C-alpha cells in the first residue's frame, strides 16, 4: 500500500512548520510577497471590523483591497505549492507501478500541468486586457490590477512545472512524456469535427475520461479538472478560452472565501501555540479515569479542536501525539487508534469553522450562519454513534492503575484550557447569531489566538511565524486553484444541458426525495474517496442543489448530508485520502489499520442515514 507521503504533501504543510520543505531560491521573493499579502489581508480586515463595530464608520475601499490581495495571494500561493509539491494529488495508481514506469508517470503528470498552463497563458493575458476597461467603484482603478494576478500566476506555475519536470526526469522520460502529451493533443485536434457531433459523448470523453486519466497519472486534482475542461471547450465547442479564465476567476474570487486562508492560518497558530493540547489535557483530566474514557477524550478533543482550526489535518496532528501513548498503555491496538482518529476527524468536519462548510455556502448559495448552527447538531449525532461503538469495543480495556485525578488538577487544566475552549463558541456564536460574517470572525479569531496563545501558551519565533504565513499562502493557493478549475468544469457541464437533463432524470426516480438522498449519499461517498472534499463540492453542488430544492429538501439539511457522506468517503480505504493521512500521523501501516476501520465507518453511516431521514436534526436550530 502506498505511503501517504507519496499521495499528498498536505500533512507536512500543517504539522511540521519548523521543518518546512524549502522552495527554490528564486522563489524566495515570491514567498515573501505571499507572506506579506497574508499579513495585509488580515490587517485590512481587522481595520474593517474595528471601523465598523467600534467607530461605526465603514471603510468602503476595504473590500476592494482585500479582493485584489486575495486573488494575488491565491495565484502566488498556487505557484509556491507547485514549487514545494504541495498540490493535492492521487498517486495510489502511480505507486503501484514499477519504479521505471513511475518516473515516466511523474514526468508525464508535470508536463500535463505545464501543457494546461501554457494553453491558458494568452487567454489569461487577454482577460486582463479586457478587464482594464472596467473600473473599481471605490478605488477607481482598472480591474486589471486584480486579474493580472491570474496571468502572473499561470506564467510562474508554467516555468516551475517545466523546471521541475526537467530537473527530476531522465532525458528519455522527458522526451517520451513530451511526445505523448503532444501526440494526444494532435489526435484531439484532428478529431475535432467528430467531437463536435457527439453531444453528451464529449462529457464521457473529456470531463470523465481525460480527468480520470490525469488522476491515474498523478496529475494534481486542480489541473485534472483544468485539463478536462480545457480539452472539452477547445475540441468540442466554439467557446473562447477567455471564458474559462473568467470562470476560474469567479471560482477563486468570492468574498466569502476570504476566510479560507485566515482559518488555515488559525490552524497553524493552534499547532504552534499548543492551544489544542491544552484542550486535550483538560478533557483527559475529566474523563480519563472511566472505561472508554480515552476514546471519549479523543472524540471530544477532535470535536472541540476542529471548532478552532477548521482543518482535519491540524485536528489529527494535535490530538494523536497527546493521547496515543496513554491509550496504547491501556491496551488499545494501534489499528483501533487510527480507526477512531480518522472517523473522529470525519465526524468533526461539520463543526464550525469548517472550511468545507464555508466553501459549500459560497458555491451553493447556502447561509453560512445556518450551516454553522446546524453543523454542531450533526456532529453531535455522529459523535454519539462513534462513542457508543467505542464504549462497546473498550469493554476489555486494561484499567490497572488508572485513578481519578484530583479536583485541583482538573481545576488547573480547566484554567489553562479555558481561553482556548472559549474560541470555538465565539466563532459559532458570532456567525450563527448573525453578529458578524465568517470572514470577520475568522480575522478576530486569529488575533485572539495569537494574543492568547503567545501570552498564555508560549511564543512563536519569527522564523516559525514567517513559515506559517508562507504555508498559509501555499495551502490556500492549492485549495483556491481547485475551486477555480472545478467551478469552470461545473460551468461547462451546465452549458451542455446536462444539468437540466440530470434534474429531469432525478425528479422521475421512484421514491421521491428519499431515493434522491440515497443517490446523493452514494455519489458523494465515491467522490469523497477519489477527489477529497472541496473539489467534490464545487463540482457537484451546482448540479445537485437545484434538484434538491425542487424536491422540497431544505438546503441546510441537504448540505449536512452531502458533507457527512463526503467525509465518510474521504476516510474509506483503499482510496480515501484522509485515512492515509491518519495512518501517517499515527505512524501505523495502512495495511494494519484497514481492517479495523470498517465498524467505525458503519457507525458513521448509520448516523448519516438518521441525519438524512430526519430533517429536523439539521433544521431545528435554524
- On whether the CB atoms of residues 127 and 245 are closer than 8 A, the answer is yes
96: nearest Cα among 569, 593, 574, 585:
574
Give the integer Cα–Cα distance in Å for 463 and 520: 45
Residues 6+ apart with CB under 8 A from 283: 296, 297, 300, 301, 304
Q: State the residue for C-alpha cell 471560482.
A: 251
Question: 494: buried, middle or exposed (CB in 10 Å: 19+, 13-18, 0-12)?
Answer: middle
Whole-number Cα distances in Å, 572 to 437, 566, 602: 34, 10, 10
What kind and span of H or E run contains 237? Answer: none
Give the integer Cα–Cα distance in Å for 484 and 538: 9
- On whether the CB atoms of residues 348 and 313 are closer than 8 A, the answer is no
Q: Give domain status of residue 127, yes or no.
A: yes
Q: What is the pLDDT of residue 399?
A: 65
Is residue 182 domain-shared with residue 304, that is, in the same domain?
no
Q: Give domain status of residue 210, yes or no.
A: yes
DSSP for 12-79 reads: HHHH-GGGPPP--GGGHHHHHHHHHHHHHHHHHHHHHHHHHHTS----TTHHHHHHHHHHHHHHHHHH
Is residue 235 domain-shared with residue 286, that is, in the same domain?
no
Q: What is the pLDDT of residue 439?
A: 76
Angle between the 312-329 and 275-287 helix axes, to the nearest 10 degrees?
Answer: 40
Number of domains in the chain: 2
DSSP for 571-599 reads: T-TTT-HHHHHHHHHHT--HHHHHTTSHH
Q: Give domain status of residue 601, yes or no.
A: yes
Half-sphere exposure of 525 (CA within 13 A, CB side): 18
Domain boundary among 194, 216, 241: 241
Whole-number Cα distances in Å, 48 to 194, 399, 407, 450, 480: 55, 54, 44, 19, 23
Q: State the residue for C-alpha cell 504539522.
A: 15
Q: State the residue for C-alpha cell 425528479.
A: 507
Q: Give domain status of residue 358, yes or no.
A: yes
Give the integer Cα–Cα distance in Å for 308 and 449: 9
Is residue 189 domain-shared with residue 279, that is, in the same domain?
no
574 cis-preceded (ω within 30 degrees of 0)? yes
Q: What is the pLDDT of residue 532?
A: 62
Joined grid coordinates for residue 40: 495585509
Q: What is the pTM of this model?
A: 0.80
Q: What is the pLDDT of residue 314?
A: 66
Whole-number Cα distances in Å, 593 to 96, 420, 546, 598: 19, 32, 39, 10
Is residue 230 domain-shared with residue 316, that is, in the same domain?
no
Q: What is the pLDDT of residue 605?
A: 92
Q: Give domain status of residue 31, yes or no.
A: no
Is residue 214 domain-shared with residue 310, that is, in the same domain?
no
Is residue 318 domain-shared with residue 198, that is, in the same domain?
no
Q: State the residue for C-alpha cell 481519578.
A: 404
Is residue 172 domain-shared with residue 319, that is, in the same domain?
no
Give residue 211's domain range: 90-134+155-241
Q: Give domain status of residue 577, yes or no.
A: yes
Domain boundary among 241, 259, 284: 241
Rg for the chain (alpha carbons), in Å?
24
Give the integer Cα–Cα distance in Å for 590 and 581: 10
Q: Where are the alpha helices (DSSP H) in 241-292?
A: 241-253, 259-273, 275-287
Is residue 339 domain-shared with residue 283, that is, in the same domain?
yes
Joined grid coordinates for residue 168: 527530476
The residues of the chain scoring below 70 in pLDDT are: 1-23, 307-311, 313-314, 318, 396-402, 432-436, 458-459, 499, 530-534, 622
- On whether the CB atoms of residues 357 and 371 are closer than 8 A, the answer is yes
- The phi, psi pair for 620, rounded to 5°, reads -70, -25
Is residue 508 domain-shared with residue 363, that is, in the same domain?
yes
Q: What is the pLDDT of residue 129?
A: 94
Joined grid coordinates for residue 613: 431521514
Domain boundary among 187, 221, 241: 241
346: nearest Cα among 291, 397, 385, 374:
385
Is residue 298 domain-shared with residue 164, that is, in the same domain?
no
Indicate left, alpha or beta for 248 from its phi (over 0: left) and psi (-120 to 50: alpha).
Answer: alpha
Is residue 596 domain-shared with residue 549, that is, in the same domain?
yes
Q: Give domain status of residue 593, yes or no.
A: yes
Whole-number Cα distances in Å, 232 to 111, 182, 284, 323, 511: 19, 17, 54, 49, 35
Half-sphere exposure of 472 (CA within 13 A, CB side): 32
Give the integer Cα–Cα distance in Å for 45 and 202: 44
Q: Give domain status of residue 303, yes or no.
A: yes
- On whether the CB atoms of residues 560 and 378 are closer than 8 A, the answer is yes
Give the integer Cα–Cα distance in Å for 238 and 236: 7
Joined grid coordinates for residue 344: 473522529
Q: What is the pLDDT of residue 15?
A: 31
Q: What is the pLDDT of residue 308?
A: 67
Is residue 390 domain-shared with residue 282, that is, in the same domain?
yes
Joined grid coordinates for residue 17: 512548520
Neighbours of 155 (CB within 10 A): 18
Residue 353 per-residue DSSP state:
S
254: nearest Cα among 360, 105, 403, 113:
360
DSSP-based three-state secondary structure for 142? strand
Residues 6+ apart with CB under 8 A from 250: 487
Neighbours of 39 (CB within 10 A): 14
Amino acid at each position: 500500500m502506498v505511503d501517504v507521503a507519496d499521495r499528498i504533501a498536505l500533512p507536512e504543510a500543517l504539522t511540521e512548520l519548523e521543518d518546512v520543505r524549502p522552495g527554490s531560491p528564486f522563489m524566495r521573493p515570491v514567498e515573501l510577497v505571499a507572506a506579506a499579502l497574508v499579513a495585509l489581508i488580515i490587517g485590512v480586515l481587522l481595520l474593517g471590523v474595528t471601523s465598523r463595530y467600534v467607530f461605526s464608520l465603514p471603510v468602503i475601499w476595504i473590500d476592494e483591497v482585500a479582493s485584489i490581495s486575495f486573488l494575488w495571494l491565491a495565484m502566488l500561493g498556487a505557484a509556491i505549492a507547485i514549487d514545494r509539491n504541495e498540490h493535492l494529488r492521487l498517486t495510489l495508481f502511480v505507486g503501484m507501478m514499477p519504479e521505471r514506469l513511475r518516473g515516466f508517470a511523474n514526468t508525464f503528470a508535470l508536463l500535463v500541468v505545464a501543457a494546461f498552463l501554457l494553453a491558458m497563458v494568452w487567454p489569461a493575458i487577454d482577460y486582463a486586457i479586457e478587464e482594464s476597461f472596467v473600473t473599481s467603484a471605490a478605488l477607481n482603478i482598472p480591474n486589471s490590477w486584480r486579474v493580472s494576478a491570474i496571468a502572473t500566476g499561470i506564467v510562474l506555475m508554467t516555468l516551475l512545472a517545466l523546471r521541475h519536470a526537467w530537473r527530476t526526469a531522465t532525458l528519455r522520460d522527458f522526451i517520451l512524456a513530451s511526445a505523448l502529451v503532444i501526440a494526444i493533443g494532435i489526435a484531439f485536434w484532428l478529431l475535432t469535427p467528430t467531437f463536435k457531433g457527439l453531444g453528451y459523448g464529449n462529457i464521457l470523453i473529456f470531463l470523465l475520461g481525460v480527468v480520470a486519466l490525469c488522476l491515474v497519472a498523478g496529475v494534481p486534482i486542480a489541473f485534472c479538472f483544468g485539463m478536462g475542461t480545457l480539452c472539452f471547450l477547445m475540441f468540442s465547442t466554439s467557446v473562447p478560452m477567455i471564458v474559462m479564465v473568467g470562470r476560474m476567476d469567479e471560482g477563486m474570487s468570492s468574498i466569502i472565501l476570504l476566510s479560507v486562508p485566515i482559518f488555515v492560518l488559525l490552524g497553524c497558530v493552534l499547532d504552534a501555540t499548543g492551544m489544542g493540547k491544552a484542550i486535550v489535557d483538560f478533557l483527559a483530566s475529566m474523563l480519563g479515569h472511566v472505561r472508554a474514557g480515552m476514546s471519549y477524550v479523543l472524540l471530544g478533543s477532535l470535536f472541540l479542536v476542529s471548532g478552532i482550526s477548521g482543518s482535519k489535518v491540524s485536528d489529527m496532528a494535535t490530538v494523536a501525539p497527546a493521547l496515543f501513548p496513554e491509550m496504547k498503555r491501556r491496551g488499545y491496538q494501534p489499528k483501533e487508534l487510527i480507526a477512531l482518529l480518522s472517523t473522529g476527524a470525519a465526524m468533526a468536519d461539520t463543526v464550525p469553522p469548517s472550511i468545507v462548510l464555508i466553501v459549500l455556502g459560497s458555491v451553493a448559495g447556502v447561509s453560512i450562519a445556518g450551516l454553522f448552527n446546524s453543523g454542531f447538531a450533526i456532529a453531535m449525532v455522529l459523535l454519539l454513534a462513534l462513542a457508543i461503538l467505542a464504549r462497546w469495543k473498550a469493554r476489555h480495556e486494561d484499567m490497572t492503575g488508572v485513578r481519578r485525578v484530583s479536583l485541583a488538577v482538573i481545576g488547573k487544566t480547566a484554567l489553562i484550557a479555558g481561553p482556548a475552549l472559549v474560541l470555538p463558541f465565539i466563532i459559532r456564536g458570532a456567525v450563527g447569531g448573525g453578529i458578524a460574517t465568517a470572514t470577520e470572525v475568522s480575522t478576530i479569531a486569529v488575533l485572539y489566538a495569537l494574543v492568547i496563545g503567545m501570552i498564555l501558551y508560549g511564543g512563536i519565533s519569527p522564523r516559525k511565524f514567517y513559515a506559517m504565513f508562507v504555508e498559509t499562502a501555499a495551502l490556500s493557493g492549492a485549495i483556491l486553484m481547485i475551486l477555480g478549475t472545478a467551478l469552470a468544469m461545473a460551468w461547462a457541464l451546465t452549458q451542455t444541458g446536462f444539468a437540466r437533463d440530470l434534474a429531469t432524470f432525478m425528479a422521475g426516480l421512484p421514491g421521491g426525495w428519499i431515493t434522491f438522498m440515497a443517490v446523493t449519499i452514494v455519489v458523494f461517498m465515491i467522490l469523497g474517496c477519489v477527489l477529497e472534499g472541496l473539489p467534490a463540492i464545487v463540482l457537484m453542488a451546482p448540479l445537485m442543489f437545484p434538484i434538491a430544492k425542487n424536491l422540497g429538501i431544505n438546503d441546510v439539511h441537504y448540505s449536512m448530508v452531502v458533507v457527512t457522506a463526503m467525509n465518510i468517503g474521504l476516510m474509506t480505504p483503499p482510496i480515501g485520502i484522509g485515512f492515509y493521512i491518519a495512518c501517517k500521523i499515527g505512524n501505523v501501516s495502512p495495511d494494519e489499520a484497514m481492517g479495523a476501520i470498517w465498524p467505525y465507518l458503519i457507525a458513521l453511516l448509520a448516523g448519516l442515514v438518521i441525519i438524512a431521514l430526519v430533517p429536523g436534526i439539521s433544521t431545528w436550530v435554524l
